[in-house]
Amino acid sequence: MYHTFLRIFQLILMKMKLKFFESVTTYYLAILKTNRNIYCPGWFLFGIIVRSMFLYVKDNDMVDTPRAERFSAKFVVSVQELISVFLQSHTGTSERSRSCAYFLKDLFSVVDRGIIFESIDEYINTPGDATQDECKLIFLKIITSYEHFIPLNCPIPIQIVEGTQLFKYTEDLYSKHFLVGILLGKIAEFYRSFALLNENQLRSQAVQVLRGALHKHEKDPRYHGLEQQQRICSMYFPFLITTIEDINHRIAALNKNEKR
Taking 50 as the threshold, does the pLDDT of residue 16 lie above it?
A: no
* Amino acid (one-letter) located at 210: L
CB-count exposure of residue 127 (10 Å: 0-12, 13-18, 19+): exposed
Instruction: List, for residues 194-240, the tens digit of each pLDDT value.
Output: 544 446 788 888 889 999 999 999 999 999 988 888 888 888 888 88
Taking 60 as the threshold, does the pLDDT of residue 5 lie above it?
A: no
Q: Say which range, 2-6, 21-25, 133-137, 203-207, has the weakest mean pLDDT.
A: 2-6
The highest-confidence range among 91-100, 132-141, 149-158, by mean pLDDT, is 132-141
- The alpha carbon of residue 11 and the mean position of all alpha carbons in its chain are separated, in whole angstroms, by 32
pLDDT at 69: 92
Instruction: List, for residues 105-127, the tens digit of each pLDDT value.
Output: 999 999 999 899 999 999 998 88
Length of the chain: 260
